[in-house]
Structure 1
Amino acid sequence: MSRIAIIGAGVIGAAIAWELSTLPGQEIHVFEAQSSPAQGATGAALGLLMAVLSERGAKKRLASLQRYHQIQTKLNLPGDQKGILHLYHDPQAWAQVQRKIPQRQKAGWSLQTLSPEQVTRQFPQINTTRINTSHLIGAILSPQEIQFQPIALTENWLNLAQNQGVSIHTNSPVVSVVPGQPIQLKLPDRAYCCDWLIVSAGLGSTQIPGLTAPFQLEPVLGQAIEILCPELENYPILYGNDTAIVPQKSGIVWVGSTVEFSQSEPPIPNAEQLDQLWQKACHLCPILQSKSWQKQWYGLRPRPVGQPAPILQIDPQFQGIIWATGHYRNGVLLAPFTADWVRQAIENQPV
């Protein structure tokens, strides 16, 4: 029997725990420093599964989205299942996506091109006239790109893992790690020895005493807004000008999110950037101008410094340590891909 410890109960740690619970003969423990799961970057995310029209990291994104569709019936989660409507105002970006559509359709992804007139007929709340200096050129409806509520997703994965025998420990920060075989974890009230240690603690991954991460992470702040807008309840997710408008149930709509490289320590939300986000959302969908903010929130995304996200690697120095972190803005999207990668790493390199 292999003993596996996972540090971090965000969406990545939860997905890994469930994936590994399907392997026979494993003793799996998840250690979370906070009082409940998904309190870091996961809890602040919008939960968009945006992959089909992506360029960067497309192979990982598409594989992970496909995996979500394979396991969706097991997860049974709330969120927007009506797809993403990508809105294009830049001629160059529109030309690029037109070249990409046949490739994605050939691979089995459903994509529907809409003219501005079709957008107006089907989605009358969308502004198809001038936004800054440009008009809407066209839109692409991608029905297989969906959205999950990140906290509910994480909790569901952990519940499924627990049903498979995984132990979840909250209020359990890892005080220190002693690499070796076995790997020794010191916790506030006890010690635990394991054969495999998977570090998936977001920004906390590089701050665990006894471990030296072979990479650096920087915090990138993101802010979002919640409003009530029943007029958009039956709409797909709207995405344009780097702004997402995400309808939920009961008329709730999320608007996000900013990308802020703060120089302060700890990072402080920038009110001006949040206002700019809101103005862009109102340009896309003018009815939002009449709505009041119900709440606003922010989170810190773990961005790798000097290398692409995410960090998926076996530690180059110590046996049995796997780094699965630094997903930046795509933690929810890439959770299934990451979990599958970790499972294969353990299967292919037994300790």
Structure 2
Amino acid sequence: MSDCLVVGGGIIGLSLAYELSRRGMSVTLVEQDEWGGQASSAAAGMLAPLKEFAAPGPMLDLGMTSLACYPQWAAELEEFTGGDVQLSLEGLLTVALNDDEQEQLLAKYLWQKEAGYSVHFLTERQQLAEVEPLLTEQAQAAIYSPYEGHINNRMLLRALVTACRLQGVVLHAGCVVSGIAVKGGRVVGVESSLGPLRATQTIITSGAWAGIMLEMLGVSVPVRPVRGQIAAVSSAGIPLRTVIFGTSGYITPKKDGKIVIGATEDESGFQREVTLAGLASVLNGVMPYVPALHSAAFLEAWGGLRPATADGKPLLGPVPGWDGLSIAGGHFRNGILLSPVTAKWMADYLEKGETERLTPFLPSRFLAETDQAQHKMG
């Protein structure tokens, strides 16, 4: 029997298992497919809270806290595992191509600057070209955020799997959970294709499948899958150096010879396939920003399912009415960004019962206390 059973082996589950094991807990981590095979591997690895979040509030605070964790977290992972995660916090541009976009961008810049964030509003062609020489001459303005960036999410996933293994986490890939086990009014683990798995605390980190998992207890949480389709082209002959965001896509130069571009947001249920329309949308959406991409060699395209919630905030903390059960999910397109802070804050809750920082994200905002007599078994 483990101290903690983490159900779902994406970036959130792996990060949490790693953090819990570092604190001396015994941890079992199960994944029905391959490690990080859904939203985590389909991401572009963006670390851009000032771009992602449109207004001040809990999500921006969470994102900035997690971004601040990244340099030390990544360095420790690399030292511990001997792997490279290709962290790059060298800045990004959010670009306006017309007057309307420039007006919206300026409004965003003004509140970010007033809030004390390090951002710059560039309107001169020379300024824009200094940051990114390949940026289209049609660019009218951009917010330059010098301390945001990206990470190689696939290499990060590999490093986390290695780190969990080295920390003694019991890892079970290809393990299908068929039920949540309850005894004496408390969740005590899961039933699985490997047999019963028992733990003092069970944490659901199964991304877009979190709702399906909790339905096993008759608990309904508003988590749904949103497909993201992404492509990669070769950077050969295209020395792009800065992440570029536009209204119709983003462009991310990686250190492994690829430029990752994306992404769609499709309400397609649990379908992961890349569609011709989706791929066309991704490719056509980015070329206006960097004309040199017209000659880029196409490498690959893929899709993944992002876990979206009804209010756009993740679900972090205990599931009301079910002792021994908690959830860390619903991060939508920010699972990579939010993984360090999610792991630390959830571990604080599981280790010490701390929930104050989790308040804006507690599942109780959607869930009333479950009727004990109706739902609890065994």
TM-score (norm 2): 0.82
Aligned equivalent of 1:8? 8
Counterpart residue number, 1:100: 111
- Paired position in structure 1 for 2:203: 198
2:372 aligns with none
- What is the aligned-residue RMSD (CA, Å)? 2.4
Whether the aligned pair in 1 keeps the contact of 2:202 and 2:325 (CA below 8 Å) is yes
Distance in 2 (alpha carbons) for counterparts of 1:38 and 1:266: 17
Match of 2:164 among 158, 161, 165: 161
Q: Which amino acid aligns with 1:12?
A: I
Match status 1:240 vs 2:246: yes
Q: 1:311 Cα shift?
A: 1.5
Measure how far apart 1:70 and its partner are: 3.0
Aligned residue pairs, count: 337
Distance in 2 between the 1:49 and 1:235 partners?
16
Match of 2:346 in 1: 342
Give me the whole-angstrom Cα distance separating, in 2, the residues matched to 1:269 and 1:310.
26
| 1:64–1:337 CA contact under 8 A, matched in 2 | yes
Following superposition, the deviation at residue 267 of structure 1 comes to 6.2
Whether the aligned pair in 1 keeps the contact of 2:11 and 2:157 (CA below 8 Å) is yes
CA spacing shift, 1:265–1:148, aligned 2, 3 Å: closer
Q: What's the offset of the Cα at 1:211? A: 3.0
Counterparts in 2 of 1:155 and 1:62: CA distance versus 1, 3 Å: same
1:205-244 equivalences in 2 (<5 Å):
205-208=210-213, 210-233=216-239, 235-244=241-250
**Aligned CA distance change for structure 1 residues 250 and 230 (closer, same or farther; 3 Å):** farther
| Correspondence for 1:142 | 145
Confirm or deny: 8 A CA contact 2:109 2:143 kept in the other structure.
no
1:286 is aligned to: 291
Mapped to 2, the partners of 1:295 and 1:95 lie a distance apart of: 35
Q: Per the alignment, do residues 91 and 237 of structure 1 end up closer, same or farther by CA in structure 2, a change over 3 Å counting?
A: closer
Residue type of the alignment partner of 1:319: D
CA distance in 1, matches of 2:27, 2:237: 46
Q: CA deviation at 1:283?
A: 0.4
Q: Give how far 1:269 is off.
A: 4.3
**Which of these residues, 16, 38, 41, is aligned with residue 39 of structure 2?**
41
Equivalent residue number for residue 374 of structure 2: none
Q: 1:141 to 1:231 in 2, by over 3 A?
A: farther
| 1:297 has 2:302 as partner | yes
The equivalent of 2:48 in structure 1 is: 50
Q: Counterpart of 2:27 in structure 1: which amino acid?
A: I
Is residue 116–residue 139 contact of structure 1 (8 Å, CA) maintained in 2?
no
Residues 1:333 and 2:337 aligned together: yes
- Would you say 1:123 and 2:121 are equivalent positions? no
Partners in 2 of 1:294 and 1:337 — Cα distance?
33
Q: Distance in 2 between matches of 1:6 and 1:122?
A: 42
CA drift of 1:339 comes to 1.1
1:33 and 1:174 in contact (8 A); partners too: yes
- Does structure 1 residue 254 correspond to structure 2 residue 260? yes
Judge conservation of contact 2:9–2:36 (CA < 8 Å) in 1. Answer: yes
Question: What is the rounded CA distance, in whole Å, between the counterparts of 1:28 and 1:266 in structure 2?
Answer: 31
Distance (whole Å) between structure 1 residues aligned to residue 240 and residue 89 of structure 2: 10
Aligned counterparts of 2:156 and 2:270: Cα–Cα separation in 1: 30
User: 2 CA distance for matches of 1:43 and 1:333?
Assistant: 13
The residue number in structure 2 matching 1:86 is 94
Partner Cα separation in structure 1 for residue 233 and residue 281 of structure 2: 16
Does structure 1 residue 18 correspond to structure 2 residue 18? yes
- The structure-2 alpha-carbon separation of the partners of 1:265 and 1:49, relative to structure 1 and needing over 3 Å to count, comes to closer
Task: Compute the displacement of 1:125 (Å).
Answer: 1.5
CA distance in 1, matches of 2:236, 2:88: 14
Question: Separation in 1 of the partners of 2:256 and 2:318?
Answer: 44
Cα deviation, 1:89-128, whole Å, max 9, x if unaligned, reads 3132222133134345x4xx54344333221344332112
Shift of the alpha carbon at 1:232? 3.9
Once the two structures are overlaid, the 10-residue window that deviates more, 57-66 or 161-170, is: 161-170
Q: CA deviation at 1:202?
A: 1.0
Note if contact 2:273-2:303 (Cα within 8 Å) is conserved in structure 1. no
Q: What secondary structure does 1:338 align onto?
A: helix
Q: Is the 8 A contact 1:233 1:252 kept in 2?
A: no
Aligned to 2:361: none
Q: 2:315 aligns with which of 311, 315, 330?
A: 311
